[in-house]
């Protein structure tokens, strides 16, 4: 059974800092990993999708890396802004548990002005 | 591309009533998912459609829950005889055909059972 964990559960940083969010998964047989952002009471916004054959993906100030063999992914946010405050979720999809995504519990990020 | 649309956004119902939610996926996305999310938790998988076929169902989907996707376009999720434990955010997602395509989520339907 795939299990996904995210560390830390919550993070508070001053504006302008660079930060790293961590995602770990137990079954390395994945098709891909996707990072999402969720604002309070809202749905999920896709940030980055990394294929299992890729090592990293970049979008603006975001960079996501994937180390499939060790079951880890990191989301790097450069020059954080108050508007980055949200919960960040990672999800994996693999060939051992059907077509669905398995989510971690999320990291709640607060960027202080 | 108007994104994944879910209706209603909020639903308050009395225990024991039936409720139905609707999801309109991004056009031409043939894969559609339903997830449930409770406060402080990540979303949990409920069910998956490929076109009109319901191919996967979680054990979370009790016999009070039913989902359909007639004609492979919009989908509905019905909960019969609602219980307070059904209170949650119900999320719908879609993605195009292909092994490694990106999934897009709707804004969710917040259900409160009183």
Nearest to A103 by CA among A88, A86, A89, A113: A89
Give the per-residue pLDDT at A98: 72
What mean pLDDT comes out for the span B51-63? 90
What mean pLDDT comes out for the span A11-30? 96
Q: Which residues of A touch B44 (CB under 8 A)?
A: 103
What mean pLDDT comes out for the span B58-62? 86
Judged on CB neighbours under 10 Å (0-12, 13-18, 19+), A96 is: exposed
Give the per-residue pLDDT at A18: 97
Closest Cα of chain B to A46: distance in Å? 6
* Per-residue confidence band for B59, with pLDDT thresholds at 50, 70 and 90: confident
A26 touches chain B (CB under 8 A): no
Give the per-residue pLDDT at A90: 98
Spatial separation of the C-alpha atoms in residues B1 and B90, rounded to whole Å: 22
Spatial separation of the C-alpha atoms in residues B90 and A45, rounded to whole Å: 15
* Beta partners for residue B36, in sequence order: B44, B90
Tell me if B33 and A100 make a contact (CB, 8 A cut-off): yes
Give the per-residue pLDDT at B100: 85
Give the per-residue pLDDT at A113: 94
pLDDT digits (tens, 9 = 90+) for A23-51: 999 999 999 999 999 999 999 999 999 99
Tell me if A44 and B99 make a contact (CB, 8 A cut-off): no
Closest Cα of chain A to B20: distance in Å? 18
pLDDT over 60 (residue A83): yes
* Per-residue confidence band for B110, with pLDDT thresholds at 50, 70 and 90: very high
Residues 50-69 of A with CB under 8 A from B: 51-52
Closest Cα of chain A to B69: distance in Å? 17
Handedness of CA A111, A71, B30, B34 (dihedral sign): negative
Which residue from A minimizes the CA distance to B93? A44
* Per-residue confidence band for A97, with pLDDT thresholds at 50, 70 and 90: low
Which residue from B minimizes the CA distance to A106? B42
Distance of CA B36 to the CA centre of its chain: 7
Spatial separation of the C-alpha atoms in residues A50 and A61, rounded to whole Å: 16
Count CB neighbours of B10 within 10 A: 11
pLDDT digits (tens, 9 = 90+) for B1-34: 579 999 999 999 999 999 999 999 999 899 999 9
Probe site for chain B from A10, A100, A105 (most B CB atoms < 10 A): A100
pLDDT digits (tens, 9 = 90+) for B67-107: 999 988 999 999 999 999 999 999 999 999 888 899 999 99
**Hunting for tokens 């995602």 — which residue is that?**
A23
What mean pLDDT comes out for the span A82-93? 97
Tell me if A42 and B108 make a contact (CB, 8 A cut-off): yes
Judged on CB neighbours under 10 Å (0-12, 13-18, 19+), B21 is: buried
């Amino acid at each position: 059974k795939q299990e996904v964990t995210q560390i830390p559960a919550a993070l508070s940083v001053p504006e302008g800092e660079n930060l790293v969010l961590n995602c770990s998964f137990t079954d390395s047989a994945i098709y891909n990993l996707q990072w999402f952002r969720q604002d309070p009471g809202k749905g999920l916004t896709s940030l980055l999708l990394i294929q299992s054959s890729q090592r990293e993906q970049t979008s603006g100030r975001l960079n996501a890396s994937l180390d499939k063999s060790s079951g880890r992914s990191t989301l790097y946010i450069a020059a954080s802004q108050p508007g980055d405050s949200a919960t960040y979720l990672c999800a994996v999809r693999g060939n051992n548990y059907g077509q669905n995504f398995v989510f971690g519990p999320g990291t709640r990020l607060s960027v202080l002005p | 591309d108007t994104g994944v649309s879910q209706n209603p956004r909020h639903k308050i119902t009395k225990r024991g009533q039936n409720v139905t939610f609707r999801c309109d996926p991004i056009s031409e996305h043939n894969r559609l998912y339903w997830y449930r999310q409770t406060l402080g938790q990540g979303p949990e998988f409920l069910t998956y459609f490929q076109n009109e076929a319901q191919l996967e169902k979680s054990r979370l989907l009790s016999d009070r829950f039913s989902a359909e996707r007639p004609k492979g376009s919009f989908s509905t999720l019905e909960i019969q005889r609602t219980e307070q434990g059904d209170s949650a955010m119900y999320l719908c997602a879609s993605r195009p055909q292909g092994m490694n395509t990106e999934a897009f989520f709707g804004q969710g339907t917040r259900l409160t059972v009183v």
